[in-house]
A and B are shown apart, each in its own frame.
Chain A
Amino acid sequence: MEKWKKFLSLEIGIEIKACLYFALILFYYFLYCVLKGNLYASILLMAEIVLTAYAMSYLQVYALHNFDESERFNAKVAVLSLLCSALYTAVSYALRWYDRNLTATICFFGYMLLCYACTYLIFKIKRDIDTAHLNRELENFKKQREK
């Protein structure tokens, strides 16, 4: 039962991560479409983005130690961010998300790097706020006893 709960917990984490990156990539895709003068988005393409995000999330969690939720942004995190961004870019080029437009593809690579850095920062800030909150509550808890 414990193993099942642990598996479920990991799966939920992967779902959340996949949804996050899907939303980020979708935003870039919408931007690309609007700049092209096109107000319609392909459902098939969006399905490809979701599946890619899912696959990459599985890779990040099981093989790459969930690097975007790391405590510190060190060389390992930087290299893995580069690797995952490159993978996303390669998939986008292969599946013609941006019509194999070189400029859009290179910008997409830079955008994904930025997304990984922001994701790391967001999680870090959230944990720092939580840490401050926890320590405040710990102090209050100890003070209550002294009273």
Chain B
Amino acid sequence: MPCAGRKPYTGPAGRVYRYCCRKEPFHFGTVLLYIRLRVSKGAFLRTLCASYRGKKEAYRKTLVFLLKKDYKECNTDAGEVIMKLTLQQIQEGSEEIIIRYRQMTEHVESIVRYLEGQSEKLLVIKEDQRVMLPLPEIIYAESVDGVTFLYTESNVYRTTLTLTLFETLYVQSGFFRCSKSMVLNIYRIRKLKSIADSRIDATLDNDEHIVISRRYAKQLRSILKGEA
């Protein structure tokens, strides 16, 4: 039912409509009532014409059009900001998605998180500014006092993701847990060295040395062999 959960009208017509919704939600009459209550008279008449001509297809199309319009109006009435969606087909150049926003709300952030899963960039924070960081630039992630920091060659960023979630989301991008509080990017390891007690010393692209304990060294070996 369109705009489920919201009472469309409080007058007599609205009461009739709600009754019809309970009994026959998709009855032609119910739908007409719904449309009449929610949209303009012109649109209502168009629907009536379509139905009277017996062109069910036209009726359905008009209905869909009106209901979509009505859904947007419902949300606007609720006070939420509706994003304008513009699609632009290009003949040349690379494809990209640009999100223009005034304020980083939960809604915008959820869209960004969804898109992050499709791309190799991550929304991170640097000095209270949000930036998109390409995943390959991240050398390792470390959790300190419950906050996850991402280290590149020259900068440190903060992310709202937990270390476990970061590891889970980006394991396919070459990130693996090398200790209780650190996740390494395998593609940013310059060389490995086997040391005593079955541990591995990893030299990273930024010349840092990370000692991977026996337990995690075993996992690393499996990943490198392609078994994990």
Contacts and interface: CB of A to CB of B under 8 A. Distances in A.
A141 B186 contact: yes
B196 A137 contact: no
Interface bin, chain A: 20 to 34
Interface string A119-134: 0000100011011001
A62 to B, nearest CB: 14
**In terms of DSSP, what is the predominant structure of the interface of chain A?**
helix
A70 B224 contact: no
Interface residues of B, number: 18
A135 B221 CA distance: 11
Contact of B192 (A13, A123, A131, A145): A131
A41 to B, nearest CB: 34
B196 A123 contact: yes
B197 A138 contact: no
B195 interface: yes
A3 interface: no
B35 interface: no
A133 to B, nearest CB: 8
B191 interface: yes
B224 A141 contact: yes
A142 interface: yes
B196 A138 contact: no
Interface of B: 174, 186-187, 189, 191-197, 200, 214, 221, 223-226
